[in-house]
A and B are shown apart, each in its own frame.
Chain A
Amino acid sequence: MYSMFTLIKTKVKTFKMASNSYRVLRSLSKELRYIYKKKDLQDVPIYCYLQDQFRSMQVTGEKICREQHEAENLAQTYLCYLESTRRNEELSVLYRGKGERSIESSANIVGLKLPKLYSEDAAKKPPDE
Chain B
Amino acid sequence: MATTLVNKFLPNVNSKLWSSSTLISANGLKSFICNFQCRHASFNPRELKKFYKNASIATADGWYEINLDKRKLRTPLGNVFKVPSEPLALAVATEWNSQESVVNRNTMHLTVLCNTALENPMHKTREQLSESIVHFLETDTVCYRLTEPPELAKLESEKWDPILEWAANRYGLEITPTTSISPPLVSTESKVIIRRHLLSYSDWALFGYHYAVDSIKSLLIVMALVDKHISVEKAVELARLEQFFQTNHWGTVEWYHNMEQYELQSRLAAAALFVHWCSESSTIKQKASIYPV
Contacts and interface: CB of A to CB of B under 8 A. Distances in A.
A117 B178 CA distance: 61
Contacts of B231: 73, 76-77, 80
Interface of A, secondary structure class, is helix
Interface stretch (B87-95, B127-135, B238-246): B87-95
A28 B50 CA distance: 24
Contacts of B56: 45
Contacts of A7: none
A64 interface: no
Given A36-B97, A49-B87, A56-B284, A110 B30 contact: yes
Contact of B263 (A76, A80, A88): A88
B222 interface: no
B126 interface: no
B43 to A, nearest CB: 10
Interface in B232-257: 232-233, 254-255
Contacts of A81: 109, 232, 265-266, 269-270, 273
B258 interface: yes
Interface residues of B, number: 42
Contacts of B176: none
B93 A45 contact: yes
B286 A88 contact: no
B276 interface: yes
A128 interface: no
Nearest to B40: A97
B153 interface: no
Contacts of A91: 254-255, 258-259, 262
Interface residues of A, number: 39
A78 B269 contact: yes
B215 interface: no
Contacts of A78: 91, 269, 273
A80 B269 CA distance: 7
A98 B265 CA distance: 26
Interface in A29-80: 32, 34-36, 45-46, 49, 56-57, 60, 67, 69-70, 73-74, 76-78, 80
A89 B104 contact: yes
Contacts of B91: 46, 78
A92 interface: yes
Contact of B259 (A56, A88, A110): A88
B124 interface: no
Contact of B232 (A32, A77, A96): A77
A120 interface: no
A8 interface: no
B93 A46 contact: yes
A97 B259 contact: no
A2 interface: no
A100 B265 contact: no
Contacts of A35: 94, 97-98
15 contacts: A35-B94, A46-B93, A46-B94, A73-B231, A81-B232, A81-B266, A84-B261, A84-B263, A86-B98, A88-B259, A91-B259, A95-B254, A95-B255, A97-B37, A100-B38
Given A49-B86, A56-B284, 11 more contacts: A35-B94, A45-B90, A56-B286, A70-B228, A74-B276, A80-B269, A85-B266, A92-B259, A95-B254, A100-B41, A106-B34
